[in-house]
C-alpha cells in the first residue's frame, strides 16, 4: 500500500468522509471496469461497483491495515460480481467497453481506415464474447490478468488461491479461448 493510500485508509477508518471519498475516486473506474468485464453489462457493473464501496465502507473498521488495500477491495468486488452472476443464472452479454478501452479509438495521429476500424471492433467483440463464455473461475483470472493487468501474486490474494492455481487457470482459459476463437475463424471462412 502506498503511504498516501495508507493515510487515507486510516483517516477513513476514523470516520473522515473526505478520505473515504478519495479512496472511492481512486478506485471507482477500475472497479467498474472489472465489473463490466466480469458481468458484461455496464448497468449491472455500476450497481456492483456501488455495492462494493458500500460494503467497503461498512467493513473498513475490520480491515487489517498491515495488508494492502487494493487486493482487499478487488476481492470484495470480485466476490460481489460472482454472486451477481450466480443470482442471474444466465450467461452475460458481450461486455461494453469503457471509453478508455474502446478499440475503435485511435491513439495515433494517423486516422485508421473505416475497414480497419470495423475489423478491429469485430475482432474485439469476438474476443469479449469468448471471454464471457468462459466458466467463472477462468473468466475472473483472465479479466484480472489481461484486462486489469494485475500480477499473479495480487490475483492469488484477491481470489484466495495459490499463484500456481492462478497460472493453471490462466493456461486452461487460454486453451479454451484459442479453441473458441479458432471455431469463430472457421465459421468465418466457410
Model confidence pLDDT, tens digit, residues 160-174? 999 999 999 999 999
Q: What is the pLDDT of residue 89?
A: 66
Residue 104 has pLDDT above 50, yes or no: no
Is residue 95 within 8 Å of residue 40, measured between CB atoms?
yes
pTM, full prediction: 0.74
Please state, in angstroms and rounded to a whole number, the distance separating the CA atoms of residues 66 and 130: 38
Q: Final residue of a domain: which of 92, 119, 135?
A: 92
- Beta carbons within 8 Å of 133's beta carbon, 6+ residues apart: 91, 180
The domain of 188 spans 110-190
**Which of 22-26, 44-48, 51-55, 128-132 has the least mean pLDDT?**
128-132
Question: How many domains, the chain?
Answer: 2
Q: What is the pLDDT of residue 120?
A: 74
Q: What is the pLDDT of residue 4?
A: 82
- Per-residue pLDDT band for 93 (boundaries 50, 70, 90) equals very low
Q: What is the pLDDT of residue 139?
A: 93
List the CATH number of the domain containing 132.
1.10.10.10
Q: How many CB atoms lie within 10 A of CB 117?
A: 15
Locus of grid cell 466476490? 79
**87 and 153 belong to one structural domain:** no
Amino acid at each position: 500500500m502506498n503511504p498516501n493510500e495508507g493515510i487515507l485508509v486510516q483517516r477513513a477508518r476514523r470516520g473522515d468522509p473526505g478520505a473515504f471519498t478519495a479512496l472511492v475516486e481512486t478506485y471507482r473506474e477500475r472497479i467498474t471496469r472489472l465489473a463490466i468485464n466480469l458481468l458484461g453489462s455496464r448497468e449491472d457493473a455500476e450497481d456492483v461497483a456501488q455495492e462494493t464501496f458500500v460494503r467497503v465502507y461498512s467493513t473498513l473498521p475490520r480491515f487489517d491495515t498491515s495488508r494492502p488495500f487494493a487486493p482487499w477491495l478487488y476481492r470484495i468486488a470480485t466476490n460481489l460480481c460472482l454472486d451477481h452472476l450466480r443470482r442471474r443464472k444466465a450467461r452475460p452479454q458481450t461486455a461494453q467497453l469503457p471509453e478508455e478501452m474502446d478499440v475503435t479509438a485511435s491513439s495515433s495521429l494517423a486516422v485508421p481506415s473505416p475497414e480497419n476500424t470495423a475489423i478491429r471492433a469485430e475482432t474485439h467483440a469476438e474476443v469479449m464474447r469468448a471471454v464471457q463464455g468462459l466458466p467463472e473461475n477462468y473468466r475472473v483470472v483472465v479479466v484480472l490478468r489481461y484486462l486489469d493487468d494485475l500480477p499473479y501474486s495480487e490475483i492469488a490474494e484477491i481470489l484466495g488461491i495459490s499463484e500456481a492455481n492462478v497460472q493453471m487457470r490462466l493456461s486452461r482459459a487460454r486453451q479454451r479461448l484459442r479453441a473458441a476463437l479458432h471455431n469463430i475463424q472457421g465459421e468465418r471462412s466457410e
